[in-house]
Amino acid sequence: MTPRAVTPEHTAPRRTGKYAAVLAASALIAVPLLAGTASPAVADEGNTYLRTEQEVFDFINRSAPLNQKEAVKGYPVQGQDAQEIKLADVEKVYPHDQALADIPAALGSRFGLPPTIPTEGPDIRNSSRDDREPWLDNWDAKSMCGQPSHTPGGESQPCGFVGVLDKAYPVMQTSSSVMGKAQFSYKTGATVGQDTSRTSGWSVGGKVSGSLGLPGNPSPEINFTYSESTTTTNKWTTMTEQNNTYDVPDGVSGWVEGRANGGWYTGYHVYKLDFVDGNGDEKQKLVLIPARVLIQAPGNAVPMTFVKRQG
C-alpha cells in the first residue's frame, strides 16, 4: 500500500526553521519590508476573497509548496500533536512497512541494522502514548534520542521522524466575520522564536506567535510550535505588524484567516537501539511510534499567510 496523494479535500483536520518572499496575490495581506524581517507580500489590485479550501490550497501552494513526505532528524520536540495518535489510523495513510523502507533514505545510514548483530523487531507501538523503552528502564522516546551507545565505541542512539502529509496549511487564527457591504481593518503580524533548551539529539524547531485583530483591540494571540524537516532550505523569520483595510462586498460575509505555511504530517517517531544486556549479549532493533508533527514548508521564509475568506 502506498500513501494516498494529499489534496485539499483529503486534508480536513482529524482531531487533531524559522523563519523570503511570499507570492503576490490579492488574498494575502501585504507586509512591509524592514531591516531584519521577511520580504513583503504584495497584494494585487482588487478585492478577491477565497471561497473554498481548494482555492486556499492552490493560492498558498504557489508560494509555500509542501512535500508529500517529510522527515525530521532528531526527536521533534516542537510541533507535536498533543492528542493520542493511534497506529490503526497511521497505517491507513502510511503503513509501517513503507516507513521502514523510507527510513534509510530519509534519515541516513545510521539507522541500518548490521547483520552481525542479532536483531529483534521491528518494535511497532500501538499509539503515540506507548513511547517507553522496556530495554532501558522505560525511558521515554525523547530521552532515548542521542543517548550514548551501549556498545563500546558505538555511535549515539539515532532518532527521527518520517511521515506523510495529511493536513496542508492549517488554520491557526480566524478573525470575526463581517457582513458586507462594509469596510473593516485588521492588524496582522507574526513573530518567531526558538526553543533554546534542547539537548543533543533533539530536532530544531520553534514557536510562532501570531496576531490578528482590530487595531487597538487585537484578538487573543495564537501560538503554535513547529519542526524543521531534513529538506528545510529557508528558515522562518519574523513578519512585521501591519494594519490593513478591507472592503467586504454587498451581501457577503467576509473574514480573515491566519494559515500556517506548513503542514501536519502523520507517521512515526523512529529510533534505533543498539543494546548490550546484563549477560554481555548485544542486540538491536528499530522502534516506530505513531506520531503527528507540524512541519514548516521547506523553502518558504514566512511563517503565516493571511487570506481573506468569503462565506
pLDDT digits (tens, 9 = 90+) for 90-114: 999 999 999 999 999 999 988 999 8
In angstroms, the CA 201 to CA 256 distance is: 39
In angstroms, the CA 206 to CA 18 distance is: 7
Q: What is the pLDDT of residues 188-218, one digit of tens each?
A: 888 898 765 566 688 888 999 888 876 666 5
Residue found by looking up cell 486534508 in the block: 11
* DSSP β-bridge partners for residue 127: 86
Write down the pLDDT at residue 185.
Answer: 83
> What pairing do the DSSP bridges indicate for beta strands 222-227 and 178-179?
unpaired
State the chain's maximal CA–CA distance in angstroms: 79
What is the average pLDDT across 227-244? 89
- The phi and psi torsions of 157 (rounded to 5 degrees) equal -65, 120
In angstroms, the CA 177 to CA 246 distance is: 12
Write down the pLDDT at residue 5.
Answer: 41
- The phi and psi torsions of 229 (rounded to 5 degrees) equal -85, 170
CA 189 to chain centre: 20
What is the average pLDDT across 2-11? 42
When pLDDT is cut at 50, 70 and 90, the band that residue 147 belongs to is confident
In angstroms, the CA 110 to CA 158 distance is: 7
Dig out the grid coordinates for 200 from the structure: 543533543
| Sequence-separated (6 or more) residues with CB below 8 Å from residue 51 | 309, 310
Do 253 and 178 form a contact (C-beta atoms < 8 A)? Answer: yes
C-alpha gyration radius of the chain: 22
Average pLDDT, the chain: 81
Question: End-to-end CA distance of the chain, in Å?
Answer: 38
Write down the pLDDT at residue 140.
Answer: 93
When pLDDT is cut at 50, 70 and 90, the band that residue 46 belongs to is very low
In angstroms, the CA 111 to CA 176 distance is: 48
Q: What is the pLDDT of residues 12-30, one digit of tens each?
A: 333 333 333 322 222 222 2
Write down the pLDDT at residue 275.
Answer: 83
> What pairing do the DSSP bridges indicate for beta strands 182-194 and 262-276?
unpaired
